[in-house]
Amino acid sequence: MTMRILTVSVLLISFSFFSCSTQDESNADFLHTGKTFRTGCYPFDQDSLGPGLISPNNGIYYYLDTIAIIDVDDFKEVSVSRSTGEYLVNLVLTDDGSRKFTAATEKHLGQSLGFVIENTLVMTPKINEIITGNSIMIDGDFTEDEMLNCYRQLKNSLDNK
């Protein structure tokens, strides 16, 4: 089987990267809903006034579906690499996770998804095309510390699932 590496970038997915961090005060306001979001990717719930997370970047409250498209159980491995001076976080999905993610990017084409790490909304990628394959490469204009912190948190979630 051929593994195709996909880059989550401006060409495939336009996204805003907030910052990977542990639960911070910016998301404390939503906790009254009682919903804790596992590490994973969630569609936005535009028809609800239910649970969600506040973006640490812009202070906007994003309503999220309570069921993840993919979550830490769909992650096979995570690594960090450096290419042309940029750090990249590589996330390998299980076969089932890959099927779910492909179906979700088809269903949510043109929409944004919420990527959550340890109950913190870290990015909101817009799906510009259907994404296939078992490997997702997260890159962009991030500092070394931001990418390494994301890697550490994803690795911690994977190790503790």
Could you give the domains of the chain? 5-159 (3.30.1360.200)
Query: Which pLDDT value is given to residue 14?
Result: 37
| DSSP secondary structure letter of residue 130 | -
Percent of the chain, pLDDT > 70?
76
Separation CA 104–CA 155 (nearest Å): 23
| DSSP secondary structure letter of residue 17 | B
Query: Which pLDDT value is given to residue 34?
Result: 57
Sheet holding 135-138, edge to edge: 5-8, 135-138, 86-93, 75-83
Query: Which pLDDT value is given to residue 24?
Result: 42
| DSSP secondary structure letter of residue 104 | H
Under the phi-then-psi rule, with left for phi > 0, alpha for psi from -120 to 50, and beta for the rest, what region is 146?
alpha
Separation CA 64–CA 85 (nearest Å): 34
Task: Between 142 and 149, name the one with better pLDDT.
Answer: 149
φ/ψ of 96, rounded to 5, equals: -65, -40
On average, the pLDDT of the chain sits at 77
Query: Which pLDDT value is given to residue 87?
Result: 82
Query: Which pLDDT value is given to residue 21?
Result: 42
Q: What is the pTM of this model?
A: 0.72
Choose the weakest-confidence range: 12-21, 74-83, 107-116, 130-139: 12-21
Strands (E), 45-119: 52-54, 61-63, 70-71, 75-83, 86-93, 113-117
| pLDDT of residue 64 exceeding 80 | yes
b/e burial code for range 65-87 (CB count within 10 A of at least 16 → b): beebbbbbebbeebebeeeeeeb
Q: Specify which of 24-38, 64-78, 118-132, 142-156 reaches the highest per-range mean pLDDT.
A: 64-78
